[in-house]
Amino acid sequence: MLNITSRGTAKTCDGLTRRDMLQVGALGAIGLSLPRLAAAKEAGQVKPGHEKRSCIMIFNLGAPSQQDCFDPKPDQAAEIRGPFKTISTASDAFQLTEILPRHAELADKFSLVRSCYHSAAAVHDTGHQMMQTGRLFSGGVNTPHAGCVTSYLLGRRSDLPAFVILPEAMGNTGGNLPHGQDAGFLGKAHDPFVLNADPSKADFKVPDLLPPQSIGEARLDRRRRLREIVESTATRFEASQSAELMDANFEAAYRIVTSPKAREAFDLAKEPMAVREKYGMNRFGQCLLLSRRLIEAGVRFVTVNTFLTVFNEITWDIHGTTPFTSIEGMKDIVAPMYDQAYGALIEDLSQRGLLEDTMVCNLAEFGRTPRINPAGGRDHWPNCWTMYFAGGGVQGGRVVGKSDAIGAYPAERPVGPNEIVATIFHSLGLDLNAHLPGPAGRPFPLVDFGTKPITELF
C-alpha cells in the first residue's frame, strides 16, 4: 500500500524537510483529482446509468467449506456431508446448513454460484490473486485488484478515497506471495486506502486519515505549500516519479485529511448502539457497518477481509489441527459472527435503498476437500466451491452452476476467477473491452479475451 512518508531530512530552500513534503498523513492512495468518471464515460468505458454503482467485496480469507455452509450434501455419508443439518431458506432454489440461519432468512436477496473452480496451486496466496484480480501473477506482472481498476477508471466521487480495504491488508497465509490487494502495474498512485485499525475497539481512530492534534495549524499551513514548492523547484526530485506521485495525490490527500465528511464517514460513534450491536461488536461486524457508511459517503469500492491470517486464530481454514481451526470452531465462533454481520449488512442496505446500486460479493480463494480428513477437518480444494452475490443488479434467490454429488467438481456451468471479476466489473458498468496502461506502457486488457460475466445472475 502506498506510503509516501520518508525518514530523510533533506531540506528545500524554503525550509521544508522532505518528510514534510511527503508526509500528508501517510494516507495511502486516494485517487487522483482528475475527472476520471467523465473521461471514462466519454471513452465509452462505463455504461450510462451505472454512475451510482458501488461494490463491497467480502473476502473470506481461509475459505469456507462448501459442504458445511452453502452446498450441503445431506444424502451423503457423514465424512462428506459433515455434522450439520440442512435447512430451508427464503428461496425455493437452494438450501443452506443450520450454521447460517440469517443467510437462510435473506436467501431471496442473494444468489449462489456453486461451480467455482481454479486450476492453480492449492495455496491461499494464488487463490487470493486470482479471485481479486481475475488472473494468476506470472512473469513479474502483478495484476491490479478490481477495486484499484475501478479507482483508476472512475476516480473518487468525493473527499473520500475511491477504494478502501478494511480492517487491514491480508497478512501471512503461508505462501509469501503477493495477495493481489494493491494496484500492481497501475502504480502506487492507485493503491487502496487501508484502514489499519480495528473499528470494534473502544478507542478506534483512523490515524492515517485524521490529522493528530499535535500537527497544529502552522504545520498544516506548511503542507498547503507543498504543491507550490513542487511546481516551483527545478530539481531532480521534481522530475522524479516520487514527485509526480506526490503532486498527483496532494490535493486529494489534503482534502481527506481536513474533510469533515471523511471524518464523519469513519466515525462509528454516529451510529446508534442498537445498529452497531445488530452487526455484532466484533472486528468483522464493525467493518461491515463501516463499509455501509463508506458506500453511503461516496466510496466506490470496499474490500473487507474477514480474517487477516490463517495462523493461530479461529478462521475458515478448518484443517482440524493447530495452528488452524476445527469444524467445531467454525460452527461456534466463525459462522455466528459472519452470519450475523452479513445479515445486518444486506438488510441495512436494502432498507436504505442502497442494495440496488451496491454489489455485495462474498469470495474465497478455494473450497474444502469433499471428505473430512483424519483430524476432523477439511483441507484446501480449488476444484469446486461456492461464492455468492447480492445487489448491484443481481437477482436474488438463484443458483448458477452445480457441483457433483459430493461437492468435488463442477457438474454444470464451471465458473473461473476471470468470470467472477468480470461480473464485478459488469455490475459497476465498466466496459469489459477496455484496456489499462500495462507494463512497459503496453495496453493491458481489463479481462482476458472472450471473458464474460455470469449473466445468469442478472
Average pLDDT over residues 417-442: 96
What are the tens digits of pLDDT across the range 29-45? 443 434 455 555 555 56
Mean local confidence (pLDDT), 25-32: 39
**Within a domain: 339:** yes
Is the residue at 7 inside a domain?
no
pLDDT at 226: 52
pTM: 0.86
Q: How far apart are CA 26 and CA 193, in angstroms?
A: 10
The predicted structure's pLDDT at residue 49: 75
Considering only residues 408 and 34, tell me which one the structure prediction assigns the higher pLDDT.
Answer: 408
Per the structure, the complete domain to which residue 180 belongs is given by 25-217+272-457
How high is the pLDDT of residue 206? Answer: 83
pLDDT at position 193 is 95
- CA 233 from centroid of its chain's CA atoms: 39
pLDDT tens digits, one per residue of 41-70: 555 566 787 889 999 999 999 999 999 999
pLDDT, greater one: 258 or 265: 265
- Omega before 207 cis (within 30°)? no
The C-alpha cell at 47 is 455504461
Burial category of 197 from C-beta neighbours within 10 Å (exposed 0-12, middle 13-18, buried 19 and up): buried
Q: Which residues pair with 46 in a beta bridge?
A: 430
- List, for residues 302-337, the tens digit of each pLDDT value: 999 999 999 999 999 999 999 999 999 999 999 999
Among candidates 423, 398, 354, which has minimal Cα distance to 93? 398
Domain for residue 234, yes or no?
A: no
Domain count, the chain: 1
Average pLDDT, stretch 115-134?
Answer: 97
- Residue 230 lies inside a defined structural domain of this protein: no
In a domain, 355, yes or no: yes
Residue 159: which CATH number? Answer: 3.40.720.10
Q: With a cut of 60, say whether residue 262 has pLDDT above it.
A: yes
Is 254 a member of any domain? Answer: no
If 0-12 CB within 10 Å is exposed, 13-18 middle and 19+ buried, where does residue 153 land? buried
The C-alpha cell at 442 is 503496453
Predicted confidence (pLDDT) at residue 7 exceeds the cutoff of 80: no
CB of 343 within 8 A of CB of 103?
A: yes
Q: Is residue 348 part of a domain?
A: yes
pLDDT score for 135: 97
- Please tell me the predicted confidence (pLDDT) of residue 5: 32
Residue 286 clears pLDDT 70, i.e. is over it: yes
In a domain, 45, yes or no: yes
pLDDT tens digits, 226-241: 545 545 554 554 455 5
Lowest mean pLDDT among 124-128, 156-160, 387-391, 428-432: 156-160
